[in-house]
Every structure is written in structure tokens, then in C-alpha cells.
Structure 1
Amino acid sequence: MKLVALAPEAIPLGRPLPFALRGQDGVLLAQKGYVIGHQEELRRILALGVNLWLDVDESREARQAYLGHLNKMLLSGHALGTIAAAPVGPEGFASPARADDERPADWPDLQLRATRLLAAPLAENFGDRFKHLHDTLVRSCIQAPDATLFALIYLSAQETATYSATHAMLVACTCMIVAHEVLRWPDVRMLQVGRAALTMNIAMTTLQDQLAQQTEPLSAAQIAAIADHPERSAALLRQLGVADPVWLEAVRCHHQHFEGPLESAPEAQQLARLVQRADQFAARIAPRATRAPMDVAAAMRASYFDTTRQPDAIGAAIIKALGIYPPGTFVRLASGEIAVALRRGASANTPPVAVVLKRDGLPPGEPIPRDSAQPEWKILASVAQKSVRAQLPLAALLALVRR
């Protein structure tokens, strides 16, 4: 790690960071791709009393900017000591973010990458591969949360072959969106909960994929593997080089029973409680060989309650962040049409939708936008994705989300 000081003026406001923002000791303050929306948010970071640094070894952009900064100061006749101590100014990052940072996520590719990473992790390259995957998900959650939720909920309702990876990504993205938008957790904690969710089942990835398609009863060995997978996952992560105690503890206890106010719980338990509830929601909406997925709206309502069937802060935060009919949910309208929720709406039960089946059961020439807040297009219920006979490809549906 090669840290160099960064002038506050070098932070691009309102667009994705082209570098990871770090404290003086290398602690991550904001991930590459994170958007600091306004000056007030930057002031809150600076109010913590931290200096801003970047690791020029982390990315090509950071290295090029730093070298350009040094070259400019050399040409200006500055002394070498001055050059070494001076922070990188805004001129180093005046160029826009790379085009591939702004491209929509390739979800089928991410499913494959996540499956390969989680099913066969190797210590020699796990850190870099995991960071690349996690960074992509973080960027997607910040830049396009509705499209992210749409893609993962849509895929989860039909996926069995790569169930474990799809499930892990949905849980991770749900947790990060809830943490960022509703719980307002610090960025460091938001990133930690995403990492914990993405790796919570790393010790049983292959078994999870097998169980999603298995029709016979669980064997004794499978039951035992399920029961101790949190401990084994935390142990495996340590072997792979993970040293963050909060991340590891959140993984280790994500199936434990929790009681009491969220705010009074230790940090790792707060993360684990959010992971646990998002995990339960994602599991309910995914199909198995032996059962159909639960209705998405019913699964979302069930997420409102804790293990004692009482509403709590985590359940309320998930509902507030995703809504009763989150993006990617198929619904029946008062008009008799079948539509899909595109984005989250002004209220939990009024998302913008697009009609995919008309009243006569036939698809329209192209999906028809509807405002479900209007009485004639009120949502009556969610419907199973597999019951919708005419479905557009995911890429075509995501194009509607981004309009």
C-alpha cells in the first residue's frame, strides 16, 4: 500500500469516486465508485478529524493521477521534499470516470463470477477477486439501486443452478441499500455488512446449490453441514486472509437469535441482524426443487417481524428501503393487467410498473407504463413470476427501469 495525501478539493462531488478514499492509516473511508453527493457530506467526513489519502497502488487511475501530479510539480521547479509532502490536488482527477465504471452491471456474468469465487476460493487470489466483485456490487447499489434490486429479485425467483451466488448477491445488495438509505450507517459499516452478507455461506456454497435442486430428504451429514456453516465460513475466511473482526463475527453469528434494541447491540451483531433478515427474505422468494417460491409481497411482509413475531427496527428498515412490491416483482392490477414493478415508489405499495400482459392475457407490443398510485391501476396482489407466460429478457426489462 502506497498512501499519498489527497486535497479535499480533489474529491469529485456528485459522481463516482475514481479511487478509494482512505484515512492516514489506510482505513477505508469510501469505496471506489461511491458517490459523495454534496459538500455537506464531504464536510461530515472531514469533521471526523481524518486526513484524506489514496493508495496509488490500488488502481491505474490513481497511479496515473499521482504520476501526473509529480510531473507537473517537477516541471514547475518545486523541491523534491515539497513534492513528496504535497497532497494531490483536483487537477489529478479532472478526467471523468472510466466508461466501464458507468456501464450497467452484467448480472449473468456476476452470477458466474460469484459462483466461481465462493465455491472454490483460493487464498492466493481471493482478496483481489472478492474486492472486484464487491466493488461492482457497491457501485451498482449506489448508482442504480432500483436496477440492482430488479435484476437480483427477478433472477432469484427463477434461479436454482447458481442459487447460492445469486442469493448471496441479493442479500448483500439488500443489506447495503438498507444500511445506506435508511439506517444511515457510516460507509465503513455499510461496506462491512455487504462483505459479511456476500460471504455468510462461503463454507457451503456447493452444498447450497445442490440442495436447491435436491428432491430427496436431507442426509445427516447435510443437516450437520448446514448447522455449523456460520462457524466454518468464518474460519474459512480467516484462512483466506480476512482479518476484519466485525466482518468475521457478523458471519459467525448471522443465524443466532437476537433480542433487544438494535442500537444497543455490539456492531457485529447489528450487521448480523440485518444479514439474517435479508437472508430470510431472499430465501423465501427463491424456488427449490421441492417447493415453489413464496409470493414476494408475502415474503416482504414476513421480513417485518423478528423471530418472536414482533416488528422491529430491522424489519421496518427493509420495508422502507424496498417497499412491499420491490423492483422485479410481478403484480396484478385493478385493471386486470399483469405488470412488473420497475422502481420503488413514493410509498411502499405504489411502485411505478409496466404492463407485460393485458386483460385478455396477451402481451402488449411493448410494456405499458402505469402509475400504481392511481385507483384504476392499483396493485391488488403480487403474482408468481413463473405464472407470467410472456416475459421479456432481463436486459429489456432493465432498460425500462433506467428510463
Structure 2
Amino acid sequence: MLQTLKVSVSDLAMGMFVSGLDRPWLGTPFYTQGFLLESDDDLRQVRELCNFVYIDTRKSRYITPKIARQGQVGRNRIPLDAIFTGRNLTPYRDANDWKDEHPRAKAALDKLVVDISDIYDQAAVRGKIDAVRIKKVASPLIDSISRNPDACLWLGRLKQHDEYSYHHSISTTIWAIALGRQLGMQRHDLRSLAVGGMLMDVGKLLVDPELLRAERTLTPEEMREVRHHVAHGVHLVKKSGIQNQDVLDMVGFHHERWDGSGYPRGLSGDNIPPFARLAAIVDAYDAMTSERPYAPAKAPADALRELYQERDQLFQSELVEAFIQAIGIYPAGTLVELTSGEVGIVVADSRTRRLLPKIILVLDPRKREYDTPKLVDLQEASGRSRGEPVAIASNLPPGTHGIHLGNYQLNL
């Protein structure tokens, strides 16, 4: 029998050891290292919060015959260094406070916005990418995220561009570097992630823009044309002299899916190059949290929940979990309502207490706008509401109460 089994909560029994959930641990009352089901109350809590869980057969005291027959379901966890064989993964530590990093991150991102637009515009005209320039513009962003990712993650949510492809390339670059940092990748690998993030959708320059902006369901022929942006992108990248295989993998395979349901080749599991698996996650996350012609933006926390529910179906479980650790349970830009009734915007994560980030308070308990938005660290906010600690009660859909992120800049 496999060590880890995926089990519906209706099939759980006392004596089973729960090693994984269908949602992030940090939003639940359970121990993150797993727990043994020892009472009816344990079973009730799990069934109320989850649809399925993962059972560790080694630590379980009892496994029902039905579950034993499902031994082929699930898989053992793969160590990160086994996913990225031959790469030195070393944990990062914050070198700067997020406030101190803010001006450097802003300068790096302002330059990236200008340069990526120019690089794309020139590529559309010349049919080639300025490879030297795109590597150069990535360096300040890599430096900033390496020191402390919070500032860039916040500023990345504020940056908007009239063209979705440009905005998408900027955002995926930020998410990709942040994920690489979380994994402990060395600088040369972070550079590959940055360049791959910027160029994943460059092939859309050669796709009919009317199809990209279409609000209707595309015909099968039109969908094939849109999907051909992958081949267009690989061609443009190679034509420009970029031979980095990790970058080519990100451009060529970021629409492949863990279960083989993706395109262009229907690769599955370990047959998908590791950097392409990372690219698939950041590409999907940014798409879900962005306004597109055919779909409204999801709240960042809801997008993470969807990614988490697709673990080992569309995306590799270990990498989804690393991404959530990289950007937080409530990512920067998440609109939240507090237990006090106030409404705020998450601006920075807490590495130690992920449910208590730093936020900008914008509405009071009666949902009236504060004259001056207040910057609050929820770890230090106890006693602000009738003597009770203040915490996040729920995340809200983008645009709730007419709140738009771009209206709230930080004056640090």
C-alpha cells in the first residue's frame, strides 16, 4: 500500500492519521504537522471543513478495508531537491524590512514596466527579442525580491497596463521570482525564472488580437490559433538567440498540466520540465486574479484555494504548497473584512503568523471611508476592538465597496 492516500471525508474513521488537507493548513484549527483522528469531534471538524484529506498509512492506527483497497490512489511526497535535481537549494532570509525595501522595489518595477512594453513593441515590429536588455532589466527585480519579496508583491498588484499581455508578463515575472526564492534557488535560476516569466506569452504578439480580446466562446479553429501562441513564442525566443533551456521550457510548456490534460503535447507528471511546472502555477494564478475580457478577477485568496484544490490534478502538489508559502495565505492586494467590521487591503505577509498580515485600513466598521488610510500590523492589533484581538474574518471579492487598489499608495 502507498504511504499516502487521498480519502473522501465521508470514508474517514477514528485511528486514521491525517497528513494533508484539501485547503491550506493555516486557515484551519488543525496541527500543520498532521494529526490522529481520535474522537467524534475530530471527525466532525474535518468533515465540516474539508471534502477530502490525505491519510498517512504509516502513522495510522487503523485503516478500513475500503481505504486499504484504494492503495493505488495518491502518491508519496517528493523532496524539492529531487524535483530540481542538481540544483543547490538554499533558504533565504529577509535582508531588509519591507518598508526599507519599498523604494528599491518601486524603482525596479517602474523600470520593468517601461522596458517590458518597449521590448514587446520592438519584438512586434522586428520579430526578435532584445535578449541582452531583457536579462538586464530582470536584475534589479531579482535583487529586491531576494532581499524581501513583500514590497514587490504589493507593488505588482498595483501595476496596471492597458494591454493584458504586458500586465500578465510583469506579474508572472514577480510571482515566478518569489516562488524561486521560496524554493531556495540560486541567482542564475531566479534569472531564468524572471526571463521565462516575461516571455511566456510573447507568442501572443503573432496571434490575432481580436481573438485575445474576445468575450465570446471561441470556435475550435480559433482556439487552436490562440493555443499556437506557445509555438510562436518558442520560435521568437530561439530566433532571438536565447538558448537557456529552462526559459524555453517555461515558454513551451507552461500550459501543460500534471494530469496530462494540458497542451501542446499533453505531457503529464515528471515528463513536464520542472521550470514549466512552476510557470504553469504562476501563469494560472495571475490569470485568475486579473480582469480578462471573458472572466472577472478572483480574489487572490480564492485563486490560491482553487490552485490548492487542483493539487496533483492540474499542478504538482509540492510546488503549489511552496507558492502559497511564497505569497502568503492572504496575498498582497487581498481585500479583507476584519472581525472589528473594518475593511482593509493586505500589503505585506507575516513570515511567522500567516493569518496576521500587515494591512491598510480603508473603511471603518460602518463601511465609511477613513479620511487617512491606516497602516496596521495585525500581529500588534490586539485590544483595538472592545478589548478583543482583531483578525481577518473573511476575504472579499475585488472591487467590493468600490475599493480599487490603485487608489491606495503607501507613504512610508
Normalising by structure 1, we get a TM-score of: 0.64
Match for residue 255 of structure 1?
255
Mapping of 1:62-77 within 5 angstroms?
none
Bigger mean CA offset, 315-324 vs 345-354: 345-354
**Are positions 1:294 and 2:298 aligned together?**
yes
Contact 1:333 1:378 (C-alpha < 8 Å) held by counterparts = yes
**Are positions 1:322 and 2:327 aligned together?**
yes
State how far apart, in whole Å, the 2-side matches of 1:186 and 1:109 are: 23
State how far apart, in whole Å, the 2-side matches of 1:124 and 1:184 are: 32
Match of 2:395 among 365, 370, 382: 382
1:120, CA displacement in angstroms?
A: 3.8
Mapping of 1:206-217 within 5 angstroms?
207=207, 213-217=213-217
Match for residue 60 of structure 1?
none
1:208, CA displacement in angstroms?
A: 9.1
State how far apart, in whole Å, the 2-side matches of 1:105 and 1:208 are: 34
State how far apart, in whole Å, the 1-side matches of 2:402 and 2:396 are: 12
Contact 2:139 2:191 (C-alpha < 8 Å) held by counterparts = no
1:151, CA displacement in angstroms?
A: 1.8
Against the structure 1 CA distance between its residues 210 and 355, is the aligned structure 2 distance closer, same or farther, given a 3 Å change threshold?
farther
State how far apart, in whole Å, the 2-side matches of 1:151 and 1:221 are: 38
Match for residue 171 of structure 1?
172
Against the structure 1 CA distance between its residues 371 and 104, is the aligned structure 2 distance closer, same or farther, given a 3 Å change threshold?
closer
AA of the residue aligned to 2:302: A
Match of 2:336 among 331, 335, 339: 331
Match for residue 129 of structure 1?
133
AA of the residue aligned to 1:286: S
Contact 2:357 2:378 (C-alpha < 8 Å) held by counterparts = yes
Contact 1:193 1:247 (C-alpha < 8 Å) held by counterparts = yes
Q: Secondary structure at the match of 2:369?
A: coil
Q: Secondary structure at the match of 1:171?
A: helix
Partner deviation per Cα, 1:150-194 (whole Å, 9 max, x = no partner) = 122234xxx5722112212211211111211x2112222222122
State how far apart, in whole Å, the 2-side matches of 1:310 and 1:123 are: 32
Contact 1:115 1:164 (C-alpha < 8 Å) held by counterparts = no
Q: Secondary structure at the match of 2:399?
A: helix
Q: Secondary structure at the match of 1:288?
A: coil
Large movers: runs of 4+ above 6 Å: 34-37
AA of the residue aligned to 2:152: T
Match for residue 57 of structure 2?
none
Q: Secondary structure at the match of 1:336?
A: coil
State how far apart, in whole Å, the 1-side matches of 2:237 and 2:129 are: 13
State how far apart, in whole Å, the 2-side matches of 1:310 and 1:255 are: 11
1:126, CA displacement in angstroms?
A: 0.6
State how far apart, in whole Å, the 1-side matches of 2:118 and 2:312 are: 33
Q: Secondary structure at the match of 2:224?
A: helix
State how far apart, in whole Å, the 2-side matches of 1:303 and 1:103 are: 27
State how far apart, in whole Å, the 2-side matches of 1:325 and 1:139 are: 24
1:372, CA displacement in angstroms?
A: 3.0
Contact 2:196 2:247 (C-alpha < 8 Å) held by counterparts = yes
State how far apart, in whole Å, the 1-side matches of 2:342 and 2:206 are: 40
Mapping of 1:186-205 within 5 angstroms?
186-205=186-205
Partner deviation per Cα, 1:5-49 (whole Å, 9 max, x = no partner) = xxxxxxxxxxxxxxxxxxxxxxxx9xxxx9996xxxxxxxxxxxx
Partner deviation per Cα, 1:338-374 (whole Å, 9 max, x = no partner) = 1011111133322111201112222212112333344
Match for residue 17 of structure 1?
none
Match for residue 232 of structure 1?
232
Contact 1:303 1:318 (C-alpha < 8 Å) held by counterparts = no
Structure 2 gap segments, 5+ residues each: 1-87, 96-102, 261-268, 383-387
Structure 1 gap segments, 5+ residues each: 1-28, 38-100
State how far apart, in whole Å, the 2-side matches of 1:199 and 1:188 are: 17
Partner deviation per Cα, 1:121-175 (whole Å, 9 max, x = no partner) = 14777123312332233233234521211122234xxx57221122122112111
Bigger mean CA offset, 311-320 vs 381-390: 381-390
Match of 1:283 among 279, 287, 306: 287
**Are positions 1:350 and 2:356 aligned together?**
yes
State how far apart, in whole Å, the 2-side matches of 1:269 and 1:151 are: 30
Against the structure 1 CA distance between its residues 250 and 391, is the aligned structure 2 distance closer, same or farther, given a 3 Å change threshold?
closer
Q: Secondary structure at the match of 2:402?
A: coil
**Are positions 1:397 and 2:371 aligned together?**
no
Q: Secondary structure at the match of 2:107?
A: coil
